[in-house]
Structure 1
Amino acid sequence: MTNTFFQKEHAASYAERPPRQVPGFDSLHRMVSMLLAERAPGAGRILVLGAGGGLELKALAEAHPGWAFDGIDPSPDMLRLARQTVAGHAARIRLVEGYIDSAPDGPYDGATALLTFHFIPREQRLATLAHIHHRLKPGAALLLAHISFPQTEPERSQWIARHVGYAAAPDADPAQLRQAREAIATRLTILAPEEEEDMLRQAGFMDVSLFYAGLGFRGWVAYKP
């Protein structure tokens, strides 16, 4: 995730956007919580990449009062928002400004990266996954969820239109919708689902499974051997 996407004007309204843009947003958090808990102990330590905003940190902290968290994000504005969001759990949450190579070494009992990887350039994806893999305990789970759909036409354009249409208000300005489609097409790094899964395996993860799909979003769980 890069600062260019989440500066002050974006951070201010961030909390309102994911529930509107991501199908089953609250249920996604519940599924992530459940899948992490299959492997993480009651006093587990969890790595959260792309923690700015604090929404998944808040959901996980409320569900698991014994867990501690390290949240990583490059945007100071988003981290400021995260601190407000998780204020009631601050004693268990450490927030770090930076990218994955700024994260503590762990080892962690699990990791998440929700709505984050479509902001990471393709050439940095594999290294990012490898950094996460290095920081996990053997057997620990990684939970990913972000935009992923076929990259061949006409499927790619159709999925972009669906993504924009789902989040749009009934009275949305057509010009703004066109701008939104263009932004997704040019500013995000979106891979086909099969490429996502292959990259997880290249990074050393095993038992890669799809656990969530909502329109153009996909979520995987994978494990460190």
Structure 2
Amino acid sequence: MTTTLNPFDDPQHVARYADRAAQMVPAYRDIHRMVAVLIAERAPSDARILVLGAGGGLETKAFAEAHQGWTFDAVDPSAAMLDLAERNLGPLAKRVRMHHGYVDDAPAGPFAAATGLLTLHFLPYEERRAAATQVRRRLAPGAPFIVAHMSFPQRDGERELWLSRHVAYLVESGIDPADVDRARTAISTQVPVLSPAADRTILQEAGFSDVTEFFSAFTFRGWVGYA
């Protein structure tokens, strides 16, 4: 039994990541397609894309399959997740440069676009704004930064209501009730979820303009803003 405090350093958690993410996040693979559309609105056919939180390579694989000329710099603090990304990408991995670390460890760019999917909700407000600011510094003028993560009202009563809805969704998705209970505890105690208004403000404070919500499904939301 592992004693790690970080689930993304747990080989068993990492091994289940792809299937579990698709169960826990509504329209998980549709989000990847939507993000690719938003990138392609402004990015050239040979775009270089920054992927913050490589997420096992699943979104990078979707982007690479949709646009054969794009190349990627994928950043993740978990070596195990980067290894999973390389396995999931297969032959596409030759178009991806892996970086073990955080956004500060990413190349300077400039990048034609950046993504942060299911990543920023692990950071408290100030760290989240600092990360978004670092992304902004690495983007070409007008380049999109596209994020999607847990974000729901945090006022008394509303937070518990949305957590309950999330739990009910997990149960309906076929996740074991014991795992659902652990997920609820983890979200309540370890994930610094913010309100949608706060998430939008962070992107604006980091220097992004025209911040627009493009996705909303239960406890998950997505935004695009421009450098």
Shorter-chain TM-score above 0.5: yes
- 1:22 partnered with 2:25: yes
Gaps of 5+ in 2: none
For residues 203 and 216 of structure 2, the distance between their equivalents in structure 1, rounded to whole angstroms, comes to 17
- 2:45 alignment partner, SS class: coil
Question: What TM-score does the superposition give when structure 1 sets the normalisation length?
Answer: 0.94
Q: Distance in 2 between matches of 1:117 and 1:74?
A: 13
Moved more, 133-142 or 14-23: 14-23
The answer to whether the 8 Å contact 2:74/2:96 transfers is yes
Q: Deviations over 1:152-205 (max 9, x none)?
A: 121101111211221225776655433321211111010000011111111000
Runs of 5+ in structure 1 lacking a partner?
none
1:118 match: 121
Query: How far does residue 88 in structure 1 lie from its aligned partner after superposition?
Result: 1.8
Output the amino acid matched with 1:5.
P
* Maintained 8 Å contact 1:148/1:216: yes
- After superposition, residues 1-225 of structure 1 pair within 5 angstroms as 4-7=6-9, 8-168=11-171, 174=177, 176-224=179-227
Q: How far apart, CA to CA, are the structure 1 residues paired with 2:107 and 2:75?
A: 9
C-alpha contact (below 8 Å) 1:39/1:140 kept by paired residues: yes
The CA RMSD measured in Å over matched residues stands at: 1.7
Gap change, CA 1:19 and 1:103, over 3 Å in 2: same
> Would the aligned equivalents of 1:52 and 1:72 in 2 still touch at CA under 8 Å?
no
Is the Cα contact below 8 Å between 1:52 and 1:75 reproduced in 2? no
2:23 and 2:175 in contact (8 A); partners too: no
Letter in 2 for 1:126: R
Between the aligned partners of 2:44 and 2:175, the Cα distance in structure 1 is 46
Contact 2:170 2:180 in 1 (8 A): no
- Contact 1:75 1:97 (8 Å CA) reproduced: yes
CA distance in 2, matches of 1:75, 1:175: 25
CA 1:88–1:208 in structure 2 vs 1: closer, same or farther (change >3 Å)?
Answer: same
User: 1:146–1:171: structure 2 CA closer, same or farther, 3 Å change rule?
Assistant: closer
Cα distance in structure 2, aligned partners of 1:212 and 1:83: 28
Contact 1:15 1:53 in 2 (8 A): yes
Query: Matches of 2:156 and 2:119 in 1, distance apart?
Result: 24
- Name which of structure 1's ranges 4-13 and 188-197 shifts more when overlaid on structure 2: 4-13
Secondary structure of the residue aligned to 1:136 is coil
Moved more, 85-94 or 33-42: 85-94
Normalization by structure 2: what TM-score?
0.93
Offset of residue 34 of structure 1: 0.3
CA 171–216 in structure 1, closer or farther in 2 if over 3 Å, else same: closer
One-letter identity of the residue aligned with 1:46: I
SS of the equivalent of 2:140 reads strand
SS at structure 2 position matched to 1:105? coil
Deviations 1:39-95 (A, max 9, x none): 100000000000031100000000010000000000011111000011221221011
